[in-house]
């Protein structure tokens, strides 16, 4: 097989893989849920003290609820909202490697706070974590 | 010998600095390009600048899914580049880098499997697909334009100095 034909085949394969992955993502991503939901957010501070915040909301994403309430403050970055402050406590990675980790139930969240879709009964935790 | 040690340190630091400089751009990074250049010009010695870069990542960002994965993902790319070292086509190199970018999230799934189980690994990979698509496109473009001239430059500099 000529070298150019091989490269063309590889290019077509890569483009097909891109299209396939895009389709998998669109099919598998969680869809926003409309209607009212009850959610709970547990904040675990640096001193290990815990506070539970409960919300009744029509919002579709966690970030919008917590930002609107003022529980969370942060900066919009390339990967979405980066949480800097929760319930008045700042986690500054540049100072001591601290950050706010988001958990959905017991699992470490795989999406940012502003891309986390809400469902009725969801329970989240925001945990002050030292990296 | 001392010159080579200094070179590896500088290349590792340069890789880290280039990554930090482009950090504001999601998954658009120069590390893949540089690791590939090091692999084809330094051979197995590319492991030194590569792991200096990884150590700098660990020191700055601590231990997490990303940093554990970094212990092997760059080695996979370096090995692929070294095996294909006779290839001359810029498009061929761009395809290697684009394919690596597309698989980047999938390459971290072993770490996610160990840390959180199959559901966590699948969820991690799926939620990262948009970033993998960006990574693929950015790697493809960067390597298509820069790999061949950087390889030529590095080969000439190594021949002149070592």
For B107-132, how does the pLDDT look when each residue is reduced to its tens digit (9 = 90+)? 999 999 998 889 889 988 998 999 99
A107 pairs with which residues across the strands?
A104
Burial A104-116 (b: 16+ CB within 10 A, else e): beeebbbbbbbbb
Question: How many pairs of residues across A and B have Cβ atoms under 8 Å apart?
Answer: 60
pLDDT of res. B36: 98
d(C-alpha B40, C-alpha B14), whole Å = 17
Q: Is A80's pLDDT higher than 70?
A: yes
Choice between A41 and A107, residue whose per-residue pLDDT is larger: A41
pLDDT of res. B154: 95
Residue B65: other Cβ atoms inside 10 A: 18
Whole-number percent of chain A with pLDDT over 90: 69
A72 pairs with which residues across the strands?
A86
Q: Looking at the domain that runs over A37-130, which CATH code has it been given? A: 2.170.130.30
Q: Is A73's pLDDT higher than 90?
A: yes
pLDDT of res. B2: 79
pLDDT of res. B67: 83
| A10 in B contact zone (CB under 8 Å) | yes
pLDDT of res. B77: 98
> Predicted confidence band at B26 (pLDDT cuts at 50, 70, 90)?
confident
Domain spans in chain B, listed from the N-terminal domain onward:
2-161
pLDDT of res. A70: 93
The whole model's pTM is what?
A: 0.83
Contact state of A108 with B120 under an 8 Å Cβ cutoff: yes
ipTM: 0.84
Q: Is A51's pLDDT higher than 90?
A: yes
Contact state of B133 with A22 under an 8 Å Cβ cutoff: yes
Q: Is A47's pLDDT higher than 90?
A: yes
pLDDT of res. B75: 97
d(C-alpha A6, C-alpha A108), whole Å = 42
Q: Are A115 and A61 in contact (CB under 8 A)?
A: yes
Identify all chain A residues contacting B62, using CB atoms and an 8 Å cutoff: 97, 131
Domain spans in chain A, listed from the N-terminal domain onward:
1-30, 37-130
Query: What's the mean per-residue pLDDT of chain B?
Result: 93
pLDDT of res. B43: 95
pLDDT of res. A81: 86
**Averaged pLDDT for residues B88-107:** 96
Q: Which of B89, B88, B56 is nearest to B74 (CA)?
A: B56
DSSP secondary structure letter of residue A61 = B
A49 phi and psi angles, rounded to 5 deg: -70, 150
d(C-alpha B55, C-alpha B51), whole Å = 6
d(C-alpha B8, C-alpha B75), whole Å = 16
B39 phi and psi angles, rounded to 5 deg: -65, -40
**Averaged pLDDT for residues B24-39:** 93
The A residues from 13 to 42 touching B (CB cutoff 8 Å) are 14, 17-18, 21-22, 24-25, 28-29
Q: Are A36 and A57 in contact (CB under 8 A)?
A: yes
Spell out which chain B residues touch chain A, with contact meaning CB-CB distance below 8 angstroms.
Answer: 23-26, 61-64, 89, 91-92, 95, 98-99, 102, 116, 119-120, 123-124, 126-133, 136, 140
DSSP secondary structure letter of residue B86 = T
pLDDT of res. A1: 64
* Strand ranges in A1-131 using DSSP code E only, listed in sequence order: 37-44, 50-57, 72-77, 80-86, 89-90, 98-104, 107-108, 123-130
**Averaged pLDDT for residues B86-92:** 95
pLDDT tens track for A27-44: 988 888 889 999 999 999
Query: What fold is seen in the domain B2-161?
Result: Arp2/3 complex 21 kDa subunit ARPC3 (1.10.1760)
Q: Are B23 and A77 in contact (CB under 8 A)?
A: no
DSSP secondary structure letter of residue A78 = T
Axis-axis angle for helices B129-161, B31-42 (nearest 10): 40
């Amino acid at each position: 097989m000529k070298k150019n034909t091989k490269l063309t085949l590889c290019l077509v394969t890569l483009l097909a893989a891109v299209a396939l992955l895009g389709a998998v993502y669109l099919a598998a991503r969680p869809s926003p849920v409309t209607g009212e939901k009850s959610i709970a957010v547990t904040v675990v501070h640096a001193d290990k003290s815990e506070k539970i915040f409960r919300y009744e909301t029509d919002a579709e994403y966690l970030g919008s609820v917590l930002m609107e309430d003022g529980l969370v403050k942060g900066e919009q970055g390339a990967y979405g909202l980066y949480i800097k402050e929760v319930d008045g406590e700042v986690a500054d990675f540049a100072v001591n490697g601290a950050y706010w980790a988001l958990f959905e139930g017991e699992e470490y969240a795989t999406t940012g706070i502003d891309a986390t879709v809400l469902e009725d009964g969801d329970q989240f935790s925001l945990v002050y974590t030292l990296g | 010998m001392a010159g080579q040690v200094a070179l590896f340190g500088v290349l590792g630091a340069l890789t880290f600095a280039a990554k930090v400089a482009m950090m504001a751009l999601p998954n658009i990074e120069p590390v893949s390009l540089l690791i590939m250049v090091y692999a084809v010009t330094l051979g197995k010695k590319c492991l030194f600048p590569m792991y200096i870069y990884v150590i700098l990542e660990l020191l700055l960002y601590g231990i997490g899914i990303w940093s554990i994965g970094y212990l092997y993902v760059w080695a996979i790319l370096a090995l692929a580049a070294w095996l294909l070292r006779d290839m001359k086509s810029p498009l061929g190199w761009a395809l290697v880098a684009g394919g690596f970018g597309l698989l980047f999230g999938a390459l971290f799934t072993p770490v996610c499997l160990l840390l959180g189980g199959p559901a966590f690994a699948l969820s991690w990979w799926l939620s990262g697909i948009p970033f993998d698509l960006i990574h693929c496109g950015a790697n493809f473009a960067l390597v298509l334009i820069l790999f061949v001239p950087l390889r030529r430059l590095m080969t000439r500099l190594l021949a002149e100095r070592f």
